[in-house]
Structure 1
Amino acid sequence: MEVTVQIPDTIHQRLGKASDEIPRWLLEKAGLEAYRSRELSGYELRLLLGMTSRIELDAFLKKHGVYLEHNDEDFAHDAETSRYLKRQSTPSE
């Protein structure tokens, strides 16, 4: 889904960001707020921001002063990933 947001020039200048940086900046801010308010899980935030690992998410949250909170969905996804990787590393008989 694509969303268009109009930002007044005075606010754009105040943000001190290049025009091409604003969409990602807004996406990260919205994702952080949704995570803080528990509207998004850590896994969903990773999907939203296109991150491939929880380590990457941990670093992102730490950079923004947000602590990682895990829920059942996160643990279930990690367990499934672990099972998948175990199956991949076990030689076929």
Structure 2
Amino acid sequence: MEVRLRIPDDIAAQLQPNGGNLERCALEALAIEGYRSEALSLGQVADMLGLSVDEADGFLKKRGIPLLSTIDDFDYDQQVLRELLA
């Protein structure tokens, strides 16, 4: 799904860290909030951001977000393990 946001240029400039990619920043913020609210599992955050589960865990830890293990996370881990062992 593609989502478009309209942000005034002056505000966009403030939100872009060192001229970084504002689209990526918005995607990361959405993933973080989805994880905090327990709407997204760690595996879903990883998929959303194009990261491995370990990388997503590090991404969240770097931002001070505690790991929330859910049944979905365990199911995702089992699925990945089955694929690796197949």
Q: TM-score, normalised by structure 1?
A: 0.80
Q: TM-score, normalised by structure 2?
A: 0.85
In the alignment, structure 1 residue 49 sits paired with structure 2 residue 49: yes
* Identity across matched positions, percent: 39
Offset at 1:16?
Answer: 4.2
Matches for 1:66-85 after TM superposition, within 5 Å: 66-85=65-84
Offset at 1:54?
Answer: 1.7
- Bigger radius of gyration: 1
Offset at 1:80?
Answer: 2.5
The one-letter amino acid of 2:12's match is H
Q: Distance in 1 between matches of 2:45 and 2:16?
A: 25
In the alignment, which residue of structure 2 is the partner of 1:59? 58
Secondary structure at 1:45's aligned position in 2? helix
What CA RMSD, in Å, does the superposition of the two structures yield over aligned residues?
1.6
Offset at 1:81?
Answer: 2.1
- State the number of aligned residues: 85
Offset at 1:33?
Answer: 0.7
Q: Distance in 2 between matches of 1:16 and 1:85?
A: 38
Q: Distance in 2 between matches of 1:81 and 1:13?
A: 39
In the alignment, which residue of structure 1 is the partner of 2:12? 12
Any stretches of 5+ residues in structure 2 without a counterpart? Answer: none
